Chain A
Amino acid sequence: MDHENKNDISSFACPIPISQYPNVLLAHGGGGRLTHELIEKMFLPAFANPLLEARHDGAVFAVGSQKLAFTTDSYVVRPLFFPGGNIGTLAVNGTINDLAMCGARPLVLSAGFILEEGLPMDTLWRVTQAMREATLQAHVHLATGDTKVVDRGKGDGIFINTSGIGIVEHNLVIAPRSVRQDDVVILSGDIGRHGMAIMAAREGLEFETTIESDCASLAGLVLAMLDAGIEIHCLRDLTRGGLASALIEIAEAAEIQIRIEEAAVPLLEEVRGACEILGFDPFYVANEGRFVCFVPPRDTQRALAILRSHGLGAQACIIGTVAGDKEGSVTLKTRIGATRIVDAISGEQLPRIC
């Protein structure tokens, strides 16, 4: 076999074995191992370039003497409205957060709406208003957009794609590769609210809670730390796969071991209770307004003080540290003092039988 010939037929074959996944499964979009596999095996090789190789939430590149950050995200959520937000607030804040995680000041957004025929105009109006408010709060402009309508039954009410551009005003390289041994892992607040608010609001799950989504723009918190000169090594917002998936991604990309303490991670009692009932591990439950931040020990206390001075970061705390081993793993000290690994889950968490 001629391995030198990059154009041989095998390079045109689908890299994900058809026999295993002839169809896309929901888990391919779940943010877990299958999503990872799809990106690594299909998209990265197809579009290979240095910006994509960084595997970050957004790409950072220079235009003249200025560094810009660019990101995109699509929003599909059911129900469209949930306690603490709706698809519109998610679409604005999610993309702002991706820019913030690059250490960028968000400037402009685009919005692409895919609407289903028959969607009540009032629903679209409420979503639009929510997006307007979110852009005003974050001081960004929605600068361009697009609207498409699909046949009834071919969409789920509203799908939104937003892209964003931000400006990078510092010389830090905020990425997994900047993470160093002994770095401290700071978590900006309690976890699991968004995922459980969605679960509770979803049809068919009849339990009443007061849990609201944590959906929020994180740009203010990040910029406050950057303005104060905190040497941020890495940032990651906790989205679909939750805290665990974010830490695993960083550990694997940086080839370091992250050690966290279960008891240090803040959890709202209601979230904990709902997770216990459904058999969910809150470490894998989605968030929309939380992030982890890797900083050197000398900056830890200052970073914490800055985060805690903002309402959104009031519960910020240290959850672990970075060990030097080139392992690419996350270990957890359990509540009863034993140690285990934290693994990426395959697909979405499914409620248990009993």
Chain B
Amino acid sequence: MRFIDEYRDPAAARAYARALARIVTRPWTLMEVCGGQTHAIVKFGIDELLPPEITLVHGPGCPVCVTPLELIEKAIRIASIPNVIFCSFGDMLRVPGNSKDLLSVKAAGGAIRIVYSPLDCLKIARENPEREVVFFAVGFETTAPANAMAVIQARRLGLKNFSLLVSHVLVPPAIETILSSPSNRVQAFLAAGHVCAVMGYEEYVPIARKYRVPIVVTGFEPLDILQGVYMSVEQLEQGRAEVENQYARCVHKEGNSAAKDLIRDVFRVVPRKWRGVGEIAQSGLGVREEYIDFDAEMRFAVSDFAVEESPECVSGQILQGIKKPHECPAFGTLCTPEHPLGATMVSSEGACAAYYRYRRTSVRASNMVPSGAETHGSRE
């Protein structure tokens, strides 16, 4: 298949791994920001090909994982209102709130619809004028333009029964939070290719400069990731800290200006809480005053509840690259995809779920290595 097979070529992958081994002289820790990249790394076993000096830690770029528990609980409560048709992308349905998830709401009779595009919700809203249609607008900069478009279309169509429950987050503030943490160990970033396809990568230049870290805009196929790692390591070895673009077939420096305009029209930058990390200033998107009628949080008063995170869950440290999934004592025992303690175990792009799904056995074996005998991150 074109645009797929070329980027999964085993010979080319091995060649990249060899090239990396030739240039690396000491240990480096890199973070891939996006959950899609984490998934690809573990699914294809890309980290197995890397020289032992290179450790990949997994970043906060899984939208399901970082959506705060409060908002999930809010979604569950809104979805339970009899007159509401609650629409969501599929992978949000399994994330547990306080006591249940959206799938359980559906099982109990709630009108939950899996949609593939927010624009599908407009059709549902038109067909059900007597019902409230709410879309769970989750995601990074990648999904924001389509969600903004849905709001603009809804206004154009005069739809009064459509609203968004917004949980949009932005990548650059998260990278800065990680870099300014005292326990940070990340020395270079693979930036999320599809986020940059929308936003471009100029906003990463000041970050690379300020924190002296290489940031390489990277795609999602095995060769993309290997090349992203190579470009990062090359910079580290040469003492450079620049923004480079590995994913040039999709990403332009300025990004997609039409998409950026849409985001700006409908949303404004707001502080957002990230699950497991806490509130980050200027790190999310909220609905602008002009479109406040389309904000589900304003339309439905559901806020009189408290939520409690599982005390065992270390997903915050995992999302910041401080810990790896198998370093959590609950991994695979108290916490499994059926009974997740935190969102990193729920979403298919969550680091814990990826480790559980693709390398549970090998991880168990490495957990038996006595402490002190440090196993290398990329080699468990």
Contact = CB atoms under 8 A, between A and B. Distances in A.
Contacts of B185: none
A354 B36 contact: yes
A23 interface: yes
B142 interface: yes
Nearest to A343: B357
Given A279-B348, A346-B337, A353-B138, A337 B1 contact: no
Given A204-B115, A205-B116, A337-B10, A350 B93 contact: yes
A25 B115 contact: no
Interface in A230-278: 269, 272-273, 276, 278
Contacts of B108: 23
Interface in A280-313: none
A23 B102 CA distance: 13
Contacts of A339: 45, 48
Interface string B19-51: 000000000000000001000001111101100
Given A27-B103, A335-B8, A343-B360, A354 B140 contact: yes
Interface in B53-79: 63-64
A341 B14 CA distance: 21
Contact of B358 (A25, A27, A340): A340
A350 B358 contact: no
Contacts of A37: 338
Contacts, number: 117
Interface of B is mostly: helix
A48 interface: no
B213 to A, nearest CB: 24
A279 B8 CA distance: 16
Interface range for A: 35 or more
Given A336-B13, A336-B222, A350-B93, A204 B44 contact: no
A336 B43 contact: no
A272 B4 CA distance: 10
B261 interface: no
A347 B1 contact: no
A141 to B, nearest CB: 39
A340 B356 contact: no
B362 interface: yes
B1 A269 contact: yes
Most B Cβ at <10 Å: residue of A26, A37, A340, A341 = A340
A346 B357 CA distance: 10
Given A336-B46, A343-B360, A352 B1 contact: no
B114 interface: yes
B91 interface: yes
Interface in A205-239: 205-206
A273 B114 contact: no
A34 B93 CA distance: 16
Most B CB within 10 A of own CB, among A23, A204, A278, A353: A353
Contacts of B357: 341, 343, 345
Contacts of B115: 204
Interface in A303-349: 327, 329, 334-341, 343, 345-347
A33 interface: yes
Given A205-B116, A337-B14, A352-B90, A20 B339 contact: yes
Contact of B42 (A272, A327, A340): A340
B103 A336 contact: no
Given A25-B104, A273-B1, A353-B64, A334 B44 contact: yes
Given A337-B10, A350-B91, A204 B116 contact: yes
A17 to B, nearest CB: 10
Given A343-B357, A353-B139, A23 B45 contact: no
Nearest to A279: B348
B120 A23 contact: no
Of B49, B143, B337, B360, the most chain A CB neighbours within 10 A belong to B337
A335 B48 CA distance: 13
B59 to A, nearest CB: 15
Contacts of A27: 103
B13 A337 contact: yes
13 contacts: A20-B339, A23-B108, A25-B104, A26-B106, A33-B337, A269-B1, A276-B4, A335-B8, A336-B9, A336-B13, A339-B48, A354-B36, A354-B194
Given A204-B115, A337-B10, 5 more contacts: A24-B107, A327-B361, A343-B356, A345-B337, A353-B64
